[in-house]
Structure 1
């Protein structure tokens, strides 16, 4: 469940930071990216607010 507002300041415009795993084929010799496989999965995320609050919220 996504939070409706910041628990610290009440801001309703929260943002989500996501880390995404991307697959790609890289040359072992040159290190050049030969092919991108696209987005595979979101590895982790957390909500944050402009007031500085950041955290993962439990589903309620």
Structure 2
């Protein structure tokens, strides 16, 4: 995956990285109410987006996440 520093369409330098994370929420079997939201269990991937409507191809693997995301964990 390319690690973009600016939008290739408009040159915007304030890109957003949208991550897809899987969590494990806990629900009551009796009432169905949410007990706890759970923590991030696994990251499926991410993609870059821009306010002009451009978005990168999504990744599907944790190893290809941008360094800024993997270093915060």
The unaligned stretches of length 5 or more in structure 1 are none
The structure richer in strand per residue is: 1
Alignment of 1:1-60 (within 5 A): 1-56=2-57
What is the number of equivalent residue pairs in this alignment?
A: 59
Query: Which segments of 5 or more consecutive residues in structure 2 lack a partner in the other structure?
Result: 65-73
Q: CA RMSD in A?
A: 2.4
Q: Which has the higher contact order (CA 8 A, sep 6+)?
A: 1
Task: Write the distance in 2 (CA, Å) between the matches of 1:4 and 1:57.
Answer: 16
TM-score using structure 2 length: 0.62
| Segments of 4+ moved more than 6 angstroms | none
Higher helix share: 2
Structure-1-length-normalised TM-score: 0.72
